[in-house]
Structure 1
Amino acid sequence: MSQTAVQQAIHQLFEHQNLSTEQADAAMMEIMTGEATEAQIGA
């Protein structure tokens, strides 16, 4: 099972790594379209 953009972003930020513009855009798109869970948004 592959990770969603939000899952990848959370993992990468937890590891103190910056997101690229493309990664941040993909994660925000998942949040804005309702694909991300409330727990993911809260993280």
Structure 2
Amino acid sequence: MTRKVKQLFKRLGEKVPVHNGLTRIKQESFYSAWHDLKHLALSSR
């Protein structure tokens, strides 16, 4: 696993509990978690 992927996992680990505590509408607009997930998916290609 590269350093960048490890860093993304760490960042997501901190954001996911916050994201899960939000209402559905706020989850959809919670840009940072989706942004990090997109980068993680693209880096694992």
TM-score (norm: length of structure 1)? 0.43
| Greater relative contact order structure (CA < 8 Å, 6+ sep) | 2
- The structure where helix makes up a greater share of residues is 2
TM-score (norm: length of structure 2)? 0.41
